[in-house]
Structure 1
Protein backbone atom coordinates (compact mmCIF):
# COMPACT_ATOMS: atom_id res chain seq x y z
CA UNK A 1 0.00 0.00 0.00
CA UNK A 2 1.47 3.32 -1.05
CA UNK A 3 0.99 6.60 0.77
CA UNK A 4 -0.73 9.61 -0.84
CA UNK A 5 1.09 11.60 -3.54
CA UNK A 6 3.89 13.86 -2.37
CA UNK A 7 5.63 17.04 -3.47
CA UNK A 8 9.29 17.32 -2.53
CA UNK A 9 11.67 20.25 -2.80
CA UNK A 10 14.73 19.14 -4.78
CA UNK A 11 17.99 20.64 -6.01
CA UNK A 12 20.18 19.39 -8.79
CA UNK A 13 22.21 19.94 -11.89
CA UNK A 14 21.62 19.37 -15.58
CA UNK A 15 23.91 16.92 -17.39
CA UNK A 16 23.85 16.54 -21.18
CA UNK A 17 23.20 13.03 -22.49
CA UNK A 18 22.62 11.49 -25.92
CA UNK A 19 18.98 10.82 -24.98
CA UNK A 20 18.41 14.42 -23.86
CA UNK A 21 19.23 16.28 -20.66
CA UNK A 22 19.49 14.33 -17.43
CA UNK A 23 18.58 16.11 -14.24
CA UNK A 24 20.74 14.73 -11.44
CA UNK A 25 19.41 15.34 -7.95
CA UNK A 26 21.82 16.68 -5.34
CA UNK A 27 20.50 14.13 -2.82
CA UNK A 28 19.37 10.58 -3.53
CA UNK A 29 15.60 10.12 -3.43
CA UNK A 30 15.02 7.92 -0.38
CA UNK A 31 12.08 5.66 0.44
CA UNK A 32 10.48 5.60 -2.99
CA UNK A 33 10.28 2.97 -5.67
CA UNK A 34 13.41 2.62 -7.74
CA UNK A 35 11.76 3.46 -11.08
CA UNK A 36 8.97 6.06 -11.04
CA UNK A 37 7.41 8.77 -13.10
CA UNK A 38 6.52 12.20 -11.81
CA UNK A 39 6.44 15.88 -12.65
CA UNK A 40 9.18 18.40 -11.96
CA UNK A 41 8.02 21.99 -11.53
CA UNK A 42 11.01 24.08 -12.57
CA UNK A 43 10.85 27.83 -13.21
CA UNK A 44 7.06 27.69 -13.50
CA UNK A 45 7.09 24.81 -16.02
CA UNK A 46 5.79 21.31 -15.35
CA UNK A 47 8.17 18.78 -16.86
CA UNK A 48 7.05 15.11 -16.92
CA UNK A 49 10.02 12.96 -15.89
CA UNK A 50 11.07 9.35 -15.50
CA UNK A 51 12.83 8.93 -12.16
CA UNK A 52 15.63 6.43 -11.77
CA UNK A 53 17.17 5.88 -8.35
CA UNK A 54 20.22 3.67 -8.10
CA UNK A 55 22.52 2.97 -5.16
CA UNK A 56 23.87 6.47 -4.70
CA UNK A 57 22.04 8.83 -7.06
CA UNK A 58 18.71 9.82 -8.53
CA UNK A 59 18.30 11.09 -12.08
CA UNK A 60 15.28 12.59 -13.79
CA UNK A 61 14.85 12.08 -17.54
CA UNK A 62 12.28 14.36 -19.22
CA UNK A 63 9.77 12.16 -21.05
CA UNK A 64 8.95 14.82 -23.64
CA UNK A 65 11.28 16.97 -25.77
CA UNK A 66 12.03 20.32 -24.13
CA UNK A 67 11.67 23.52 -26.13
CA UNK A 68 14.40 25.34 -24.24
CA UNK A 69 17.59 24.62 -22.34
CA UNK A 70 17.54 23.92 -18.64
CA UNK A 71 19.80 25.79 -16.20
CA UNK A 72 23.04 24.08 -15.13
CA UNK A 73 22.05 24.27 -11.43
CA UNK A 74 18.43 24.44 -10.28
CA UNK A 75 15.92 24.19 -7.43
CA UNK A 76 12.47 22.79 -8.12
CA UNK A 77 9.55 20.77 -6.76
CA UNK A 78 9.22 17.09 -7.63
CA UNK A 79 5.64 15.79 -7.59
CA UNK A 80 5.29 12.03 -7.06
CA UNK A 81 1.93 10.45 -7.83
CA UNK A 82 3.05 7.18 -6.34
CA UNK A 83 3.74 8.35 -2.81
CA UNK A 84 6.24 6.67 -0.57
CA UNK A 85 7.10 2.99 -0.46
CA UNK A 86 6.25 1.26 2.83
CA UNK A 87 9.32 0.40 4.89
CA UNK A 88 7.60 -1.93 7.35
CA UNK A 89 8.70 -5.55 7.40
CA UNK A 90 5.66 -7.67 6.48
CA UNK A 91 4.38 -10.17 9.03
CA UNK A 92 5.21 -13.22 6.88
CA UNK A 93 8.85 -12.13 6.51
CA UNK A 94 9.17 -11.37 10.22
CA UNK A 95 7.57 -14.74 11.13
CA UNK A 96 9.81 -16.67 8.71
CA UNK A 97 12.92 -14.98 10.09
CA UNK A 98 11.83 -15.74 13.65
CA UNK A 99 11.04 -19.39 12.84
CA UNK A 100 14.47 -19.83 11.21
CA UNK A 101 16.27 -17.89 14.00
CA UNK A 102 17.57 -15.40 11.44
CA UNK A 103 18.46 -11.77 12.12
CA UNK A 104 16.49 -9.27 10.02
CA UNK A 105 18.23 -6.40 11.83
CA UNK A 106 21.46 -7.35 10.05
CA UNK A 107 20.12 -5.80 6.82
CA UNK A 108 21.33 -2.26 6.14
CA UNK A 109 18.95 0.27 4.52
CA UNK A 110 19.84 -0.67 0.94
CA UNK A 111 19.59 -4.42 1.61
CA UNK A 112 16.24 -3.99 3.35
CA UNK A 113 14.98 -1.85 0.45
CA UNK A 114 16.01 -4.53 -2.08
CA UNK A 115 14.57 -7.37 0.02
CA UNK A 116 11.22 -5.61 0.46
CA UNK A 117 11.03 -4.73 -3.24
CA UNK A 118 11.98 -8.32 -4.23
CA UNK A 119 9.31 -9.73 -1.92
CA UNK A 120 6.69 -7.12 -2.79
CA UNK A 121 6.92 -7.80 -6.51
CA UNK A 122 6.00 -11.49 -6.15
CA UNK A 123 3.00 -12.18 -8.39
CA UNK A 124 1.80 -15.47 -6.85
CA UNK A 125 1.79 -17.05 -3.39
CA UNK A 126 4.28 -19.69 -4.59
CA UNK A 127 6.70 -17.03 -5.83
CA UNK A 128 6.32 -15.08 -2.58
CA UNK A 129 7.10 -18.22 -0.57
CA UNK A 130 10.22 -18.90 -2.66
CA UNK A 131 11.33 -15.30 -2.26
CA UNK A 132 10.79 -15.46 1.51
CA UNK A 133 13.04 -18.53 1.62
CA UNK A 134 15.70 -16.80 -0.49
CA UNK A 135 15.72 -13.73 1.78
CA UNK A 136 15.74 -15.73 5.01
CA UNK A 137 18.49 -18.08 3.78
CA UNK A 138 20.73 -15.07 3.14
CA UNK A 139 20.36 -13.66 6.65
CA UNK A 140 22.81 -14.43 9.45
CA UNK A 141 21.58 -16.48 12.38
CA UNK A 142 20.70 -14.74 15.60
CA UNK A 143 23.66 -14.51 17.96
CA UNK A 144 23.86 -17.49 20.24
CA UNK A 145 21.91 -19.76 17.88
CA UNK A 146 23.89 -22.57 16.26
CA UNK A 147 23.76 -22.58 12.47
Structure 2
Protein backbone atom coordinates (compact mmCIF):
# COMPACT_ATOMS: atom_id res chain seq x y z
CA UNK A 1 0.00 0.00 0.00
CA UNK A 2 1.38 3.41 -0.96
CA UNK A 3 1.15 6.18 1.61
CA UNK A 4 -0.59 9.33 0.47
CA UNK A 5 1.53 12.47 0.57
CA UNK A 6 0.95 14.70 3.58
CA UNK A 7 -1.11 17.76 2.69
CA UNK A 8 -0.25 21.18 4.04
CA UNK A 9 -1.76 21.85 7.44
CA UNK A 10 -4.44 24.57 7.23
CA UNK A 11 -4.10 26.98 10.13
CA UNK A 12 -5.67 30.16 11.38
CA UNK A 13 -4.54 31.94 14.54
CA UNK A 14 -6.09 35.11 15.88
CA UNK A 15 -6.28 37.33 18.92
CA UNK A 16 -9.07 39.86 18.55
CA UNK A 17 -11.33 42.33 20.31
CA UNK A 18 -14.19 41.30 18.00
CA UNK A 19 -16.74 38.62 18.94
CA UNK A 20 -15.74 35.11 17.86
CA UNK A 21 -17.77 33.07 15.39
CA UNK A 22 -18.13 29.30 15.67
CA UNK A 23 -19.30 29.19 12.04
CA UNK A 24 -16.23 31.13 10.81
CA UNK A 25 -13.82 28.91 12.78
CA UNK A 26 -15.54 25.76 11.53
CA UNK A 27 -15.33 27.08 7.96
CA UNK A 28 -11.59 27.78 8.36
CA UNK A 29 -11.09 24.20 9.59
CA UNK A 30 -12.97 22.70 6.63
CA UNK A 31 -10.91 20.35 4.48
CA UNK A 32 -12.00 17.61 2.06
CA UNK A 33 -9.94 15.04 3.99
CA UNK A 34 -11.72 15.71 7.27
CA UNK A 35 -14.11 13.10 8.57
CA UNK A 36 -14.37 15.16 11.76
CA UNK A 37 -13.97 18.75 12.85
CA UNK A 38 -14.04 19.15 16.60
CA UNK A 39 -14.68 22.68 17.85
CA UNK A 40 -14.16 23.63 21.48
CA UNK A 41 -15.91 26.82 22.54
CA UNK A 42 -14.86 28.42 25.80
CA UNK A 43 -17.50 30.77 27.19
CA UNK A 44 -17.70 33.15 30.10
CA UNK A 45 -19.68 31.47 32.85
CA UNK A 46 -21.76 33.19 35.52
CA UNK A 47 -19.60 32.15 38.48
CA UNK A 48 -16.12 31.15 39.58
CA UNK A 49 -16.11 28.61 42.38
CA UNK A 50 -19.66 29.67 43.24
CA UNK A 51 -18.83 33.38 43.29
CA UNK A 52 -21.11 35.39 40.94
CA UNK A 53 -19.26 36.87 37.94
CA UNK A 54 -20.31 40.16 36.34
CA UNK A 55 -17.83 40.06 33.43
CA UNK A 56 -14.26 39.08 32.49
CA UNK A 57 -11.50 41.17 30.97
CA UNK A 58 -8.86 39.37 28.88
CA UNK A 59 -5.38 40.59 27.92
CA UNK A 60 -2.70 38.82 25.90
CA UNK A 61 0.89 39.33 24.86
CA UNK A 62 -0.12 38.84 21.23
CA UNK A 63 3.22 38.05 19.47
CA UNK A 64 4.09 35.34 21.98
CA UNK A 65 0.53 33.98 22.17
CA UNK A 66 0.38 33.59 18.39
CA UNK A 67 3.72 31.74 18.50
CA UNK A 68 2.30 29.40 21.16
CA UNK A 69 -0.74 28.79 18.90
CA UNK A 70 1.61 27.93 15.98
CA UNK A 71 3.67 25.63 18.21
CA UNK A 72 0.48 23.84 19.26
CA UNK A 73 -0.47 23.28 15.61
CA UNK A 74 3.04 22.03 14.78
CA UNK A 75 2.93 19.60 17.71
CA UNK A 76 -0.53 18.37 16.68
CA UNK A 77 0.80 17.71 13.16
CA UNK A 78 3.75 15.74 14.51
CA UNK A 79 1.66 13.74 17.01
CA UNK A 80 -1.34 13.23 14.69
CA UNK A 81 0.20 13.23 11.16
CA UNK A 82 -3.22 12.89 9.47
CA UNK A 83 -4.38 16.24 10.86
CA UNK A 84 -5.59 18.64 8.20
CA UNK A 85 -6.47 21.83 10.08
CA UNK A 86 -5.92 23.65 13.36
CA UNK A 87 -7.71 26.90 14.15
CA UNK A 88 -7.18 28.84 17.38
CA UNK A 89 -8.91 32.18 17.98
CA UNK A 90 -8.91 33.98 21.33
CA UNK A 91 -10.77 37.11 22.26
CA UNK A 92 -9.42 39.91 24.45
CA UNK A 93 -11.15 42.84 26.09
CA UNK A 94 -14.34 42.90 28.15
CA UNK A 95 -16.57 39.83 27.81
CA UNK A 96 -19.98 39.35 29.40
CA UNK A 97 -21.42 36.08 30.71
CA UNK A 98 -22.26 33.80 27.78
CA UNK A 99 -19.79 35.35 25.33
CA UNK A 100 -17.16 33.17 23.65
CA UNK A 101 -13.60 33.76 24.84
CA UNK A 102 -11.77 31.06 22.87
CA UNK A 103 -12.42 28.75 19.93
CA UNK A 104 -10.20 25.82 19.01
CA UNK A 105 -10.99 23.63 16.00
CA UNK A 106 -9.10 20.57 14.80
CA UNK A 107 -9.91 18.74 11.58
CA UNK A 108 -8.84 15.14 10.94
CA UNK A 109 -9.98 12.07 9.05
CA UNK A 110 -11.27 10.39 12.24
CA UNK A 111 -13.22 11.69 15.25
CA UNK A 112 -11.26 10.01 18.07
CA UNK A 113 -8.02 11.70 17.03
CA UNK A 114 -9.79 15.01 16.41
CA UNK A 115 -11.29 14.97 19.92
CA UNK A 116 -7.93 14.05 21.50
CA UNK A 117 -6.02 16.71 19.57
CA UNK A 118 -8.58 19.41 20.31
CA UNK A 119 -8.49 18.64 24.03
CA UNK A 120 -4.69 18.60 23.99
CA UNK A 121 -4.68 21.96 22.16
CA UNK A 122 -6.93 23.80 24.62
CA UNK A 123 -5.21 22.31 27.66
CA UNK A 124 -1.79 23.28 26.29
CA UNK A 125 -3.00 26.76 25.31
CA UNK A 126 -4.26 27.35 28.85
CA UNK A 127 -0.88 26.31 30.31
CA UNK A 128 1.44 28.02 27.82
CA UNK A 129 -0.18 31.06 26.22
CA UNK A 130 0.53 34.48 27.78
CA UNK A 131 -3.14 35.31 28.26
CA UNK A 132 -4.60 36.72 31.47
CA UNK A 133 -8.10 37.39 32.62
CA UNK A 134 -9.45 39.74 35.23
CA UNK A 135 -12.51 38.39 36.93
CA UNK A 136 -15.00 41.10 37.87
CA UNK A 137 -17.47 39.86 40.47
CA UNK A 138 -20.94 41.22 41.12
CA UNK A 139 -19.84 42.56 44.51
CA UNK A 140 -17.58 45.06 42.69
CA UNK A 141 -14.26 43.37 43.46
CA UNK A 142 -11.90 41.96 40.83
CA UNK A 143 -8.71 39.94 40.43
CA UNK A 144 -6.25 39.17 37.59
CA UNK A 145 -5.42 35.49 37.02
CA UNK A 146 -3.43 33.62 34.40
CA UNK A 147 -5.68 31.36 32.36
CA UNK A 148 -3.16 28.61 33.21
CA UNK A 149 -4.23 28.95 36.84
CA UNK A 150 -7.82 28.10 35.91
CA UNK A 151 -9.26 24.64 36.38
CA UNK A 152 -7.61 22.50 33.71
CA UNK A 153 -6.39 18.95 33.48
CA UNK A 154 -2.67 18.54 32.94
CA UNK A 155 -1.96 17.85 29.26
CA UNK A 156 -1.30 14.22 28.40
CA UNK A 157 2.07 15.11 26.90
CA UNK A 158 4.53 17.67 28.23
CA UNK A 159 3.79 21.27 27.23
CA UNK A 160 5.75 22.68 24.30
Higher relative contact order (CA 8 A, sep 6+): 2
Pairwise TM-score range, normalised by the shorter structure: under 0.3
Q: Could you tell me the TM-score, scaled by structure 2's length?
A: 0.26
| More helix as a share of residues | 2
In terms of Rg, which structure is larger? Answer: 1
Q: Could you tell me the TM-score, scaled by structure 1's length?
A: 0.28
| More strand as a share of residues | 2
